[in-house]
Amino acid sequence: MPIIRLPGRAALVFATALLAATLAGGGARDAQARDVVEPARSLSGNFLAGYVAGLARDPTAAATFLREALLDDPSNPELMERAFVAFLADGSMPDAMRTAERMIALDPQNGLALLALGVDDLRNARFGEALARFEDGTGSRAADLTATLLAAWAHAGARDGKAALEALDRLAGEPAFEIFRLYHGGLLASFLGMPDEAEERLAAAYGMQPTALSIVDAYARHVARRGRTEEAIGIYEAFLAQVQRHALAEARIDALRAGERPGRPATSIAAGAAEVLYALGSAGNAQGDEMPTIIYLRLALHLAPEHEMSLITLADVFARMDRPEDAILLYEQVSRTSPLNVDADIEVAHLLERLERNAEAESRLRMLMADRPDDLEVVTALANILRVRQQWNDAARYYTRAIELIGAPTAVHWPLFYFRGASYERAKQWPKAEADLERALELVPEGSSIGRAQVLNYLGYSWVDMGINIDEAFDMLKEAVSLSPRDGMIIDSLGWAYYRLGRWEDAVRELERAVELQPSDPVINDHLGDAYWRVGRRLEARFQWQHALDNDPEPEEREAILRKLEHGLEDEPAPEAAQAPRTGANGG
C-alpha cells in the first residue's frame, strides 16, 4: 500500500502517543508472565503495575491491572484513556467499548472512542449510529481517510449505494488516498450488485498496485465471477511471478482450475469494513508504526474474527515485539481449512523454538511434513531450525531435500544454497560448502545488497581463514562492507581477516568501526581486544575483553576470554581454530 497519513483525525495521533507510553519500551519479559498476573490490592498498586506491564510490552497484564484500577477510580479521565488503549491492544473489546461510552460522556468528540464505537455499530448492523460516530468531531471529511472509508461501508449497509460511492469520491484529488478510493469503491460496487462500476474501479486499483494481494485477489475474483476464468488465473500468475510464492494465490488458481466459482470480493458489510482497517493497519505496519497497526488490526478482528490477513499481520507484530505467546495464539486462530494455515503453523514452530520449546517445535514441523512431504516451505523450515540448533549434518540433509524439490534453481533460491553451504562448512565439509557458497553467489540478485553481502562475507572470510584465494577474498570482504556498511558483524569479518594475516593496524581500524556499530556484541569486543593487544594497547585490550565477558559470550568463548584477562596473549600469534564468519540478521 502507498504511504499514507494514519489517519487524518488528530485523536488517533494522540492515541498513538498514548499507546506508545502505555505499551512501548524495551526489556524481555518472563515467557510465563501472562499466566501469573494477579491484580494488586490498591489503586496505586494496580496503576503502577499496569504502567510497568506496559513498559514490558505486555498488553494482557496492562489491561488486567488497569481494569482493576478503573474499578477503584472510575471517573479518572487519564486512567480511563490508558485503560481503554490497553483494552484495545489486548483485544478486550467488551471492556474497550464500555470504557469508550464513558469517555464519550466526558468528551463527545474523542476521536478514538468514536472510531471504536462506530466499528462496534457496524458489527451490530447499527448503520445510522455508525454514520453519526464517523461524522462527529471531523474537520475535513476528505482529510479523514479512516472515517470516510468506514462511513462509505455504513452507507452500503443502509443500502444507499449512491451515498456510499459519493462518500468515497470525496477522497478524489488526494493522490495518497486514490488507491483506497478505487479499491473500496470496487468492493462496494461489487457488494451492491454494480458489476460494471466494480470492474472499472478494481481494474484501476489493480493497475496502480499489481502486487498488493488484497487488490489482486479482489480483481481476480471479480473477473472470474464474470466468466473470464483464464484471465483471473493470469492475474494470480502475474502476482506469483513477482513474489514467487503465496499460498493464497496458489490455492485460488487451483480452485479456478477445478471449476469453482469464487464468492464476491466482500461478502458482508463487516467484512468490507474489516478490509478497511486491515489495509490501514498493514500500511502502518509497513512503515514500522506498531501502535496504530495494533489498534487497526484489533478493530478489524472485532468486525471479522476470522480475517486471515489481520490475524497473521497482528501475529507478526507481536512476534517482533517479543510477545511470542500472543503471536502463537493469533496464528492458531487461522482456520485449519485456510490456504494460509501451513504458513501459520510454520511460524508457530519458529516461535516455539524461540521459547526453547524445542521438542514441540520440531514435532509440529515433522507432523506437517508427514502431511505435506513435498512442501518446500515445510522442509526449509525444519532445515532452518536444525541449523540454528547447530545440528549441521541434519540441517544440510534437509536443505538438500529442499533443493531437490525446486528442480531448476532461480534467484529466489539462493538462501537454500547459502544455508546449506554454511551447514557444510560448520560440519567441516569444506569442498561441499565452497561449491554451495559459490552457487549462492551466482544466484543472489545484484539488487539484493544485504543477501549478496552475506554470501560475499562468508565465502571471502572462509578463504582468508584457510589462507587461499587471498586477493579475491579481500575484494569480496571489501565489497560486502560496501554493500552493507552498517553491519558491524560483516565489518568484524573484514577486521578479523586483517588480524589473521597479521595486519594489526588495519584490523584495529575495522574492528573499532564494528564496535561502534554493535557495541554490545561479545565476539566483536573480543576481537578488538586481541587487535589492541597486538599493537601494544594492552590496557584497552583488557577493557575490551572485560566488556566482551560482560555481554554473555558463548561458554567456550568465555573460557578463552578469562585466560586472556589473566595472562594476555602470547608474544607471537598462535594459529587459531577456524571460526565461522560473522554474519548479520540474515546470515548463517
* CA–CA gap between residue 340 and residue 249 (Å, rounded): 10
Task: Please report the pLDDT score of residue 13 as a whole number.
Answer: 35
* CA–CA gap between residue 429 and residue 169 (Å, rounded): 64
63-82 residue pLDDT tens: 888 888 888 788 888 888 88
Which ranges of the chain have pLDDT less than 50? 1-35, 137-143, 574-578, 585-588
377-399 residue pLDDT tens: 999 999 999 999 999 999 999 99
CB neighbourhood size of 567 (10 A): 8
- Closest to 89 in 3D by CA, of 286, 297, 274, 247: 297
* CA–CA gap between residue 415 and residue 155 (Å, rounded): 49
Helix (H) or strand (E) holding 4: none
* CA–CA gap between residue 456 and residue 477 (Å, rounded): 6
* CA–CA gap between residue 12 and residue 8 (Å, rounded): 8
Helix (H, G, I), strand (E, B) or coil at 8: coil
Grid coordinates belonging to 149: 472509508
Please report the DSSP string for 15-67 in residue order. Answer: HHHHHHHHH-------TTGGGS----SSHHHHHHHHHHHHHTT-HHHHHHHHH
Task: Please report the pLDDT score of residue 581 as a whole number.
Answer: 67
State the residue for C-alpha cell 504502567: 51
What residues contact 510, with CB distance under 8 A and at least 6 apart?
Answer: 491, 492, 494, 495, 498
* CA–CA gap between residue 80 and residue 92 (Å, rounded): 14
Model confidence, pTM: 0.80
Task: Please report the pLDDT score of residue 28 as a whole number.
Answer: 34
* CA–CA gap between residue 290 and residue 269 (Å, rounded): 26
Task: Please report the pLDDT score of residue 90 as a whole number.
Answer: 92
> Cα-flanking dihedrals φ and ψ of residue 553, to 5°?
-70, 170
Contact predicate 551/521, CB 8 Å: yes
* CA–CA gap between residue 203 and residue 212 (Å, rounded): 13
Residue burial 476-497, b: 16+ Cβ < 10 Å; e: rest = bbeebbebbeebbbbbbbbbbb
Task: Please report the pLDDT score of residue 64 as a whole number.
Answer: 85
Helix (H, G, I), strand (E, B) or coil at 235: helix
Task: Please report the pLDDT score of residue 78 as a whole number.
Answer: 87
Grid coordinates belonging to 215: 487488490
410-440 residue pLDDT tens: 998 999 999 999 999 999 999 999 999 999 9
Task: Please report the pLDDT score of residue 283 as a whole number.
Answer: 84
Contact predicate 395/383, CB 8 Å: yes
- Closest to 452 in 3D by CA, of 469, 474, 476: 476
Task: Please report the pLDDT score of residue 242 as a whole number.
Answer: 85
Helix (H, G, I), strand (E, B) or coil at 289: coil
Contact predicate 145/8, CB 8 Å: yes
Fold of 445-588: 1.25.40
- CA angle at residue 181 from 177 to 184, to 5 degrees? 130
* CA–CA gap between residue 323 and residue 111 (Å, rounded): 28
